[in-house]
Amino acid sequence: MDASTSNASTSNASEHGHIPVMRDRIAELLAPALEQEDAVLMDATLGAGGHSEYLLHTFPTVRILGVDRDARALSEARERLSVFGDRFHAIQCRFDEAHETLKEESHPIAEIVLDQGLAGSLFDLGVSSMQLDQVERGFAYRTDAPLDMRMDPTKGITAADVLNTYSHGDLARVLKTYGDERFAGKIASAVLKEREKEPFSTSARLVELLYDTIPAATRRTGGHPAKRTFQALRVEVNRELEAIELALPNTAAMTRCGGRMVVMSYQSLEDRLVKKFFGQLCASKTPPGLPVDLPGTAPEWVAITRGAEKASAAEIEENPRAAPVRVRAIERTSASTDTSQNDPKKAFRDEGHHG
């Protein structure tokens, strides 16, 4: 990668108000896969298109399939990446639905994936910087906005719906499970009491309730009192963990030999799912105690990262949003003996296949 490429991408990123997290390391992890012939990367969380733009600059022959459920994000990313012509193609869907949506696409990039499989995939999980910066979406707790939080504003329930309709038990479960909130039950009780007076509609009222409900000692030492609740609501509204659980095996089935999967997680629940799934792919299925792998039981994947990699102190100082990131990467090293799991055409065009 030469300095001009890096400088150009830095300039473009700053113009869009977004610096892709760990972009150099992500490019390094994907390089052996993206330098292959007819390489297609699936950017499963396209967002503002920052990682895709950098990778298209860095690897002159790579093609990218961008996936996002957010129509506004897709529109802006398509405009931003239009300079790359037919090397970039975007589809609107949740990333766990990409393998099905591809069947309906006639674009050359989709055909390459269907015929040869993916050379690489990148998941940058959670809410994007662009979405956080769009105040009206309700993702951020520091400004008053409608309690929406849907990544696709045309589908599903809103955060306000969760607060106004869930039972005490269901709301406490969401806050505890997805936000690791110590005071989940207490917050749920306060929400049910307040919604009897008036339904929740804006973030400021919820933040005020959280300030009143969470003890002062915890507020002084535990960061912003709304952080965990807002995270939990967002995960529930967008069914994020369910999407990850479905997307990872679907994407693994789409990946060709020599292909790589890279996942960036920002919370422990996400990282735990990724760690477990990657561990299963990279583990031998031979019973313990045998000196060699039995036929058909050797792992088809190998870990590229040792554990989860973190951003450097220097990058965190430059880009604070990199602080919580955890990066894991694996590479497919052999073909499955089960051809239904390895043949891309069969895997994607068979209507009964779900990864």
pLDDT tens for 53-109 read 999 999 999 999 999 988 888 999 999 999 999 999 999 998 999 999 998 888 999
Mean pLDDT on 208-222: 81
Predicted confidence band of residue 225 (pLDDT cuts 50, 70, 90): confident
Residues 287-304 have pLDDT tens digits of: 777 777 777 778 999 999
Q: Is the pLDDT of residue 264 over 50?
A: yes
Mean pLDDT on 233-238: 92
The pTM of this model reads 0.82
Identify whether the C-beta of residue 206 lies closer than 8 Å to the C-beta of residue 226: yes
Residues 312-331 have pLDDT tens digits of: 999 999 988 899 999 999 99
List, by residue range, all CATH 3.40.50.150 domains of the chain: 3-73+95-127+241-283+292-349
Residues 6-43 have pLDDT tens digits of: 444 444 444 444 679 999 999 999 999 999 999 999 99
Q: Is the pLDDT of residue 2 over 90?
A: no
Q: What are phi and psi of 119, to 5 degrees?
A: -85, -25
In CATH, what is the architecture of 3-73+95-127+241-283+292-349? Answer: 3-Layer(aba) Sandwich (3.40)
How far apart are the C-alpha atoms of 17 and 102, rounded to whole Å? Answer: 30
**pLDDT at residue 53 in the model:** 97
**pLDDT at residue 132 in the model:** 52
Exposure of 248 by Cβ count < 10 A (0-12 exposed, 13-18 middle, 19+ buried)? buried
- Residue 117's nearest CA partner among 247, 256, 262 is 256
Q: What are phi and psi of 71, to 5 degrees?
A: -60, -40
- Residue 321's nearest CA partner among 59, 168, 129 is 129
Pairing of strands 63-68, 301-303: unpaired
CATH superfamily label, 130-238: Putative methyltransferase TM0872, insert domain (1.10.150.170)
Q: Could you tell me which residues are annotated as the binding site for S-adenosyl-L-methionine?
A: 49-51, 68, 95, 124, 131
| Alpha carbon 194 to its chain's center | 34
Q: What's the one-letter identity of residue 324?
A: P
Backbone conformation region of residue 157, classed left if phi is above 0, alpha if psi is from -120 to 50, else beta: beta
Q: How far is CA 349 from CA 115, 197, 328, 346, in A?
A: 10, 52, 29, 5
Structure tokens at 160: 């306000």
Predicted confidence band of residue 343 (pLDDT cuts 50, 70, 90): very low
Identify whether the C-beta of residue 12 lies closer than 8 Å to the C-beta of residue 55: no
List, by residue range, all CATH 1.10.150.170 domains of the chain: 130-238
Q: Could you tell me which residues are annotated as the binding site?
A: 49-51, 68, 95, 124, 131
Beta strands in the chain (DSSP E): 40-43, 63-68, 88-92, 118-124, 255-265, 301-303, 326-332
